[in-house]
Amino acid sequence: MSNIGFIGLGIMGSPMCRNLLKAGHKLVVYGRNEERVNDLVAAGAQSAASPRQVAEKSDIIITMLPDGPEVEEVVMGPDGLLQGAKPGSAIVDMSSINPIVAQKVGAACAAKSVRFMDAPVSGGEPKAIDGTLAIMAGGDAALFNEVKPVLEALGSSVTLTGPIGAGNVTKLANQIMVACHIAAMGEALVLATRAGLDPQIVIDAIKGGLAGSTVLNAKGPMVVSRNFKPGFRIRLHQKDLRNALQAAESMKVSLPLTSSVQQMLMALMNDGKGDLDHSAIVTFIEEMAGVEVKAH
């Protein structure tokens, strides 16, 4: 069992910590939400007063943060992980960030003889709770093999996709597909509803064919029941698509569908819907059509 530090106790990080404790690992946590820290301490974790203190007590440090600036602050800041990390220790950033930022943080770690891997996840809160996340890692193969048993306590699929930054490129590819799929599902269900069909029956008819998918199975019923409780928030998906478009621009790649859906997400955020589940992308299309997709 490993001495693991964990920073970022949000909607994903807290259940991930619980799964590490269930697997028997020693865990030191740091977060700004005192209630979540206290809950994890009650479950068997130790708390730390700063990222630096987490690093001093850990061999492997996992970060699960909103975006690149937070990762840079926690790792490279004045009281950050690199101020306390032992040479040879490992930082595994499971946040979804711009791959260029992941490479920058990895270089800063290497300068301090600290190993770094980016390992973003897919699956949202339900799979974080179940420990069945899809984990996409970027980094050195030896480090990957070392931390893989730890990551397997968090995910059912753990894949090394390439060098540092590759994990986040893979995650951005995932987020493009999910966002565009939800938007396409929204258009299809709005059309079916306007035609007088029951959208749940349409989903049931479609899901056994080529258009059937995990996205349809997970998000279709949420739309029909008007349940937009966040498993993955619109504002975070907007951030991911922004990072995808920034990365694409740097590589001179055109992503027209991604750009369109990112604009939908921005409009929804401006409409006060940024903290709804990303299945609420459908509401953008509903408002244009004057149709609400719901059970008959």
Catalytic positions, written as ranges: 171
> How would you write 46-109 as a 3-class SS string?
EECCCHHHHHHCCCEEEECCCCHHHHHHHHHCCCCHHHHCCCCCEEEECCCCCHHHHHHHHHHH
Structure tokens at 180: 């565009």
d(CA 31, CA 184): 37
Structure tokens at 228: 């937009």
d(CA 249, CA 239): 15
Question: Within a 10 A sphere around the Cβ of 104, how many other Cβ atoms?
Answer: 19
Structure tokens at 217: 């199975």
d(CA 242, CA 259): 8
